[in-house]
Chains A and B, each alone.
Chain A
Amino acid sequence: MRGRGHETVKVAAEIAVPIAIVVVWELWARSADSQFWPPPSKIVQEFNDLWVFEQFRSDVVPSLMRILLGFGIGSAVGVAIGVPLGMSLWARKFAMPQIEYWRAMPPPALLPISVLLLHSIGNLQKVSFIAFFCIFPVLLNTIDGIRGLDPTLVDTARAYGIPAHERIRRIVLPAAFPQISAGMRISLSLAVIIMVVAEYFSSTSGVGYVLLISKNTFQLGPMWAAIVLIGVIGYVLNLAYLLAERRMLAWHRGWRAATPQ
């Protein structure tokens, strides 16, 4: 039950509470003076030292590249497999047990295997590892999106004799796209997490690598800076995706608003 309280109080709380948390944290950390829990001011400083310019190119860029490539390839494969599976009941019945198994597999369990099979810990291994797990959210959402295709639209396509490739390109994919996009957003956050884990496990560059090295050398400053950066990367990528999605799905919003569901 939302109270009819004063709007000003709420706005004040929205601003004051985060500031209060930071202030309390700062004061406590300074007094505790533990190397494990540096105050926010120190973290910001470490962040600037480390990431703003110095190691940006050597570590942040490779990590971002891996994320984006893995996400892109995984999404493309997810859609490519999802379209035929969405359209064929028997293909789905046959493939689903496999899909359900691999989508439930905790990604780290396959890390040693991916290094082994690909004989490397370089970009190929990282990107393919990320891509593999990015397939599933997109794949499942593509299947759902296609299965939910409006029967009237299907009938219309058939009545006008529209050939298969045109149907897929101009009807099936656009109609399923809102759902596919939701899956891609999930895949994107997944890509960030998997990148961290993959780099932490075995890598010679990247944000995850920095995380590992800072642990090994017992340097808490860079470690916190890396943690914050990973959070920032996740947040910014998600935001960028939402903005892009908003433009691509403008028609969907208009249509939903105009049509009583």
Chain B
Amino acid sequence: MLEIRDVAKSYGSGSKVTHALRSISFSIAERELVCVVGPSGCGKTTLLKCIAGLLRPTRGEVLLHGEPVTAPPEEMAVVFQEYNRSLMPWSTVRNNVLLPLRHKKLSKDERTRLVEEALEAVGLTRFIDHYPWQLSGGMQQRVAIARALAYQPSILLMDEPFASVDAQTRGDLEDLVLRVRDEFGITILFVTHDIDESVYLSDRIVVLTHAPTVVKEVVRVELPSPRDQIATKELPEFATQRAYVYRLIKHDTTAPAPSTLVGEGLHD
């Protein structure tokens, strides 16, 4: 469904060139939840913005249903890390969720329905007429997720959405993401630096190297569904998978391997 081919991104020119991404290639199938993890500063956010059509890659291309992505596609929605800067403080929760729908060809009733359903899916119906800053961090991120849901995308990009949220709330939000994927059938690309989170959520994990960044390995997560914050994390497989990914990131040598789809499954 989504294919990233040899995407590279550099800044500057001449001697002051910075290669944020050297060459990234992987693909995502429909209804998959794929996480992207890597060491700090490896360009995860840059990659996400290239995929979202917010930045144009220096080389390579992003294909959505076979069509190249040159501008933010209609069927793609994004949830950013800084919820308090992506929500509009002068509008209520309702109007924040409504905004992307205003330019879609829908009747007023349909819009209202979508907004209310999305807020119900994230459990914020009670706060529909509050202002975002009146809510806690986790709730604000739910509003951002509701906004994405109401937009009815087929693919959802999330850029470290729970990094600024406390650990317990994070668990609830992770489960919300899984539920959303199951209920709405959305494909999800989830960028995170939290390895536990990536193992818990994903079907597959794309592990990146240091800058200049390439794909180190794409790991398939073999854990039973549905996932549970307690039961799944008790499984020995969880620990092994987690350790594997952790080692991939920690023992990243300076000479990264070129990007190929390596390691489908567990290595020992």
Contact = CB atoms under 8 A, between A and B. Distances in A.
Interface string A238-253: 0000000000000110
A159 B76 contact: yes
Given A158-B72, A161-B72, A152 B133 contact: no
Interface residues of A, number: 24
B85 A158 contact: no
A1 interface: no
A161 B148 CA distance: 12
Contacts of B54: 155, 158-159
Given A152-B80, A255-B133, A160 B88 contact: no
Interface stretch (B99-107, B181-189, B248-256): B99-107
B102 A156 contact: no
Contacts of B53: 159
Contact of A163 (B52, B72, B103, B133): B103
A160 B100 contact: yes
Interface in B48-86: 49, 52-54, 71-72, 74, 76-78, 80, 82, 84-86
Contacts of B102: 162, 166, 170
A252 B90 contact: yes
B68 to A, nearest CB: 16
B123 interface: no
Interface string A141-167: 000000000101101101111110010
Of listed B53, B71, B103, B151, residue having the most chain A CB within 10 A: B103
A259 interface: yes
A26 B134 CA distance: 54
A254 B131 contact: yes
B74 A153 contact: no
Contacts of B89: 251-252, 254-255
23 contacts: A152-B85, A155-B80, A156-B78, A156-B80, A156-B86, A158-B54, A159-B52, A159-B53, A159-B72, A159-B77, A159-B78, A160-B78, A161-B71, A161-B74, A161-B100, A162-B102, A163-B103, A171-B88, A174-B88, A174-B90, A175-B90, A251-B89, A258-B134
Given A166-B103, A170-B91, A175-B88, 11 more contacts: A152-B85, A153-B85, A155-B86, A159-B52, A159-B54, A162-B103, A170-B102, A254-B89, A254-B131, A254-B133, A258-B134
